[in-house]
A and B are shown apart, each in its own frame.
Chain A
């Protein structure tokens, strides 16, 4: 090896082994590529999906709020209108009764004819909701006068709740009830103070159906339900959902006030409904408006449609991201690989050029003293030969021969060094593979001898010379031989065979009895950056060797089994294509 020639004592470095050439290891091999791709995917997904999800959520939330607000407003409007209508209706009847007690004296009202006349006039004035009967009750609860379809004169009401209430409060509107007539109706009663300090009560009953008729149903959808209930949840007007008057509503009606309240709750079938309710003033009635499924009321983006849109968008974005990142990483990797190979080649070429210059210089320095030794030995030989009686003539001539032999050996080494340096960049030439292999083997150096590794070259007789690039072939065989040398144990064998392979090719096989290559690695050993020499190899040696063999128009194959060594075969064309 060159280190042996230099004798500098520096650690032996084999500059011809690509594994020794330091290069920047590309960070995109194997796991790094996967990591980079994962980072790219996650970062891109985050910056593209996060805003989409946030905007979708905000949009949906806003949409829901406005939908609720709109629904609540429309329900509130409906309920308010109905409340006004009902309150007006009830006030109108109350006013009618007030008018009667103010217009007529107690005595007149006690006259059944007058009472009948008044009722007829009133009913003529009210197109709807006419009084069914009219009665005058004294402060003792006794009905003094009655006009209507039944004979109720003289009936005593003093123990009834409504009588008690109207006596205390002056006016009273009852819940709907069946009463004597067995038909739903409700009563309106007012109290009138007499000058004597006594009082009497004018009471009218109204058919409950007219309540339902007062409820405005314009603008309601078929699923909407508007009805009246009392505080016990008993229907005071018919309901689309819960049946006729006096049925009990199966859901809890929220406590009502004079202000409209809209809230969402589950109905008896656990479906979400919006309920608006309000108290009808001075009456036991609560107006209730039930509207199912607020969300489906409006046109626009419903939750399922929004989710579908999101899903499609997310899938599309992810597909683009995955595809894009794959392309990106693959391109980057290819680029890095190309750059690394280029860097490696440049560095390798630089090293070879340096070695060439160094070798030439060393050879020159050695050749001069070698020439002197040679000439001195020659002169000694001349002198001895000229004197036939030179003492111990044969012995001296033997010594001279030995010196000249050593000079020849040394000259072979220096000439080879110079030849190697010179041939580094020579193009195609005619090459004897056997000679070239001998030359390359000589470069394996002392290591082979120290480790007692036997290297044999067996060339089939008649193998033709080939036309190829000497320097590159040297590199190929050096790499393969260095690998073989590293694989064998001390005392191992490396056998090189040269033989013809068909008419146009020559095969050089380099087999060793080393540790062999596991099957799973066999397919990958020619890949760039694949190495089993963790930490010490670049994983480029065999890949470069493979590349050179291909460039020379040849093929490189490997056979190996763990424990049974490996055999690399280089097939080379006789002529470069």
Chain B
């Protein structure tokens, strides 16, 4: 099985570095960035299987980022992550093409399971 390439986007740097490190420990090629703008740049620079996007970020928010990603890379799987859990955001994200919508804090093993499903283009969790 090929290595899973994941881009983790969240404005909380501590969270990003920790999650990236834990994913790497599990053999996943994880990259972390702390803003929407940075995420869009990275996507243009290197290929990813799944992007995990925080919904609320300063600057470009997750919903805006997913909109742009889907315009340029319609097949790239995107997972939305939020500490807020607003129903409207979830509905908007899913409508924009998000694979799933998760609420923080997420158990890492659960996240990895969903990442694999998303990369495989399988059923939503």
Contact = CB atoms under 8 A, between A and B. Distances in A.
Q: Bound pair: A and B?
A: yes
Interface of A: 360-361, 363-368, 370-376, 378-379, 382, 386, 407, 411, 415, 418, 422
Interface stretch (B37-45, B98-106, B115-123): B98-106
Contacts of B85: 360, 363-364, 367, 415, 418, 422
A487 to B, nearest CB: 36
Residue with the highest number of chain A CB atoms closer than 10 Å, among B15, B56, B82, B104: B104
A154 B100 CA distance: 163
B22 A379 contact: yes
Contacts, number: 69
Residue with the highest number of chain B CB atoms closer than 10 Å, among A368, A376, A422: A368
A374 B106 CA distance: 8
Dominant secondary structure at the A interface: helix
Given A364-B56, A364-B84, A422-B85, A375 B15 contact: yes
A371 to B, nearest CB: 4
A360 B84 contact: yes
B87 interface: yes
Contacts of A366: 83
B86 A367 contact: no
B103 A415 contact: yes
Contact of B22 (A372, A375, A407): A375
Nearest to B85: A418
A393 to B, nearest CB: 17
A273 B86 CA distance: 101
A372 B104 CA distance: 10
A160 B106 CA distance: 152
Nearest to A361: B84
B18 A379 contact: yes
Nearest to A359: B85
Q: Interface size bucket, B side?
A: 20 to 34
A370 B56 contact: no
Residue with the highest number of chain A CB atoms closer than 10 Å, among B15, B85, B87: B85
A365 B22 contact: no
B12 interface: yes
30 contacts: A360-B84, A360-B85, A361-B84, A363-B83, A363-B84, A364-B82, A365-B83, A366-B83, A367-B85, A370-B105, A371-B15, A371-B83, A371-B104, A371-B106, A373-B105, A374-B105, A374-B106, A375-B19, A375-B22, A375-B105, A376-B18, A378-B18, A378-B22, A386-B25, A407-B105, A411-B105, A415-B85, A415-B103, A418-B103, A422-B86
Contacts of B12: 368, 371-372
Given A363-B85, A415-B85, A368 B15 contact: yes
Contacts of A361: 84
A386 B26 CA distance: 11
A372 B18 contact: yes
Given A364-B56, A367-B103, A382-B25, A372 B83 contact: no
A228 B14 CA distance: 137
B18 A375 contact: yes
Contacts of B82: 364
Given A364-B84, A375-B108, 8 more contacts: A367-B84, A367-B103, A371-B15, A372-B18, A375-B22, A376-B18, A379-B25, A422-B87
A475 to B, nearest CB: 20
A45 B86 CA distance: 63
A382 B28 CA distance: 14
A378 B108 CA distance: 8
A370 B18 CA distance: 13
B35 to A, nearest CB: 15
Contacts of A373: 105
Contacts of B22: 375, 378-379, 382
A310 B36 CA distance: 91
Contact of A367 (B18, B19, B105, B108): B105
A379 B14 contact: no
Interface in B1-53: 12, 14-15, 18-19, 21-22, 25
Contacts of B14: 372, 376
A368 B105 CA distance: 7
Nearest to A368: B83
A437 B104 CA distance: 25
Nearest to B55: A364
Contacts of A379: 18, 21-22, 25
Interface in B45-84: 56, 82-84
A371 B22 CA distance: 13
A415 B104 CA distance: 9
A364 B56 CA distance: 9
B73 to A, nearest CB: 26
